[in-house]
Amino acid sequence: MINNGFLKFGTLTICTIFALIGAVSFEQLLSDNRQYGQRSDRVLAQTSEEKSANVVCEKGSNAVVTVKDGNGHGSGFLVSQDGLIITNAHVVDGSPSVVTVVFQDGKQVSADVIGFAMGGIDLAALKIQNRKNLPTLSLGSAGSAKVGYRVFAIGTPLDPENRDTCTQGNISRIRKDGEIQHTANTNQGNSGGPLLNAQGEVIGVNSLVAKAPVFDGAGNQVAYTPSGTGINFALPVEKVKSFLADVRNKRVSDQSTLPRKKDPTVATLSLNGQVINGSLAEGDRIAENGTFINLYQFQGRASQQLVIDMTSQKINSVLTLYQVSESSEGQKIKEIAENDDIGPGDFDAEIAATLPEDGVYLIVATSHERGETGDYSLRATAKP
């Protein structure tokens, strides 16, 4: 419609235009018209690309589940109609033999942890019993992942209520071991979820987010957080296919074969009042004052009101709440609130705060005394 109008305008007034400016040729006008046509083609192409992305996300989400074990959550995806699920080993490492999986529509069912990959590979299999005709994802062909290709990550980042979050990016690197580095944004909780190609096929299992340094107001590095780096990793589909063959032939371990070392990442905290049991122990991060610290993160909203409690019979609890922000030097943190003792004679800690902005927040759980160790309970509740 715009192009036709432009042609009519050119035909009726071409003589006047030449008389006024004497420098614009009819060929130039036609060239401009062709450029408008090219813009229209680009819009149509973009619309087509958006539609295909929507199909990948919506169809893929049907077969992606949230995996919950009572202490945390991860993601997984169905590979058979009778309920076989693939996830990361670290998602269910230490979990009970039966976990809960949550579907896209919120329906929850039980799933058995039926085996872990051998050789320290970060894969595990779950099985929903007595089910048929469940939605599944197809596995892509070996070697189909190429640098620059578009990819989609589906999972449940940070909070169980964020299930079926779909992000897209590109493959930025293929490591020598086949691991896929990509830019589709993932966070804790995405672990075990699928990395899909533009055809909706699984080409990897999201397993790791590169950690960025976190600095305090004085510029001192105090921690690492996996949020916001743009560098994400997925196990290649070749390892998934090999593991599935082992599952079918019952060549799997009944326990995780991952190397036993303390997880250095920042744990994710839900704001639903769920109690998390933690412990300050030898080998934990150490603050500048010599106290052991544990770190937790959550996604907060502007004006959200929170109450965070840390209770213990063993240690003198201390809580600090920080807001995480991006800067040219990396991620920095700004203190929002701190509490040592709830009141006279009560050595537990409690923070009541209103969040200033949308974004990522960090909780530091520690003790009052240098080198103090012991168990504690942590709970965060967001007021309606």
Residue 283, pLDDT score = 76
More confidently predicted of 154 and 268 = 154
Query: Do residue 278 and residue 351 come from a single domain?
Result: yes
Query: Do residue 367 and residue 312 come from a single domain?
Result: yes
Query: Do residue 365 and residue 285 come from a single domain?
Result: yes
Please state the rounded mean pLDDT for residues 16-23.
41
At 154, which CATH number? 2.40.10.10
Query: Do residue 275 and residue 212 come from a single domain?
Result: no
Query: Domain range holding 186?
Result: 150-236
In a domain, residue 161? The reply is yes
pLDDT band, very low/low/confident/very high, at 21 (cuts 50, 70, 90): very low
Query: Do residue 273 and residue 375 come from a single domain?
Result: yes
Mean per-residue pLDDT over the chain, rounded? 84
Please state the rounded mean pLDDT for residues 92-121.
95
More confidently predicted of 337 and 343 = 337
Please state the rounded mean pLDDT for residues 356-377.
90
Residue 3, pLDDT score = 43
In a domain, residue 115? The reply is no
Residue 135, pLDDT score = 97
Query: Do residue 217 and residue 173 come from a single domain?
Result: yes
Of 130, 158, 150, 164, the residue nearest 60 (C-alpha): 164
In a domain, residue 79? The reply is no
Q: Are strands 267-268 and 292-300 parallel, antiparallel or unpaired?
A: parallel
Query: Do residue 363 and residue 282 come from a single domain?
Result: yes
Active site residues: 90, 122, 191
**Looking at 236, 261, 287, which one is the last position of a domain?**
236
Q: How far apart (Å, rounded) are the C-alpha atoms in residues 84 and 200?
A: 18
At 302, which CATH number? 2.60.120.380
Residue 350, pLDDT score = 94
In a domain, residue 86? The reply is no
Query: Do residue 343 and residue 275 come from a single domain?
Result: yes
Specify the number of domains making up the chain.
Answer: 3
Contacts of 136 (CB under 8 A, 6+ apart): 63, 78, 79, 80, 81
Query: Do residue 377 and residue 322 come from a single domain?
Result: yes
**Of 28-32, 162-166, 368-372, where does mean pLDDT reach its minimum?**
28-32
In a domain, residue 142? The reply is no
Query: Do residue 286 and residue 360 come from a single domain?
Result: yes
* pLDDT 10s digits, 285-324: 887 677 888 999 999 999 999 999 999 998 999 999 999 8
Residue 327, pLDDT score = 60
Q: How far apart (Å, rounded) are the C-alpha atoms in residues 369 and 384?
A: 35
CB count in 10 Å sphere of residue 70: 10
pLDDT band, very low/low/confident/very high, at 9 (cuts 50, 70, 90): very low
Query: Do residue 225 and residue 308 come from a single domain?
Result: no
In a domain, residue 306? The reply is yes
pLDDT band, very low/low/confident/very high, at 70 (cuts 50, 70, 90): confident
**Looking at 215, 236, 257, which one is the last position of a domain?**
236
pLDDT exceeds 90 at position 334:
no
pLDDT band, very low/low/confident/very high, at 224 (cuts 50, 70, 90): low
**Of 28-42, 111-125, 235-249, where does mean pLDDT reach its minimum?**
28-42
Query: Do residue 302 and residue 369 come from a single domain?
Result: yes
In a domain, residue 354? The reply is yes
Q: How far apart (Å, rounded) are the C-alpha atoms in residues 355 and 292?
A: 26
Structure tokens at 120: 């320290």
**Looking at 236, 260, 295, which one is the last position of a domain?**
236
In a domain, residue 168? The reply is yes
* pLDDT 10s digits, 204-218: 999 987 655 555 555
pLDDT exceeds 60 at position 225:
no
Prediction pTM value: 0.59
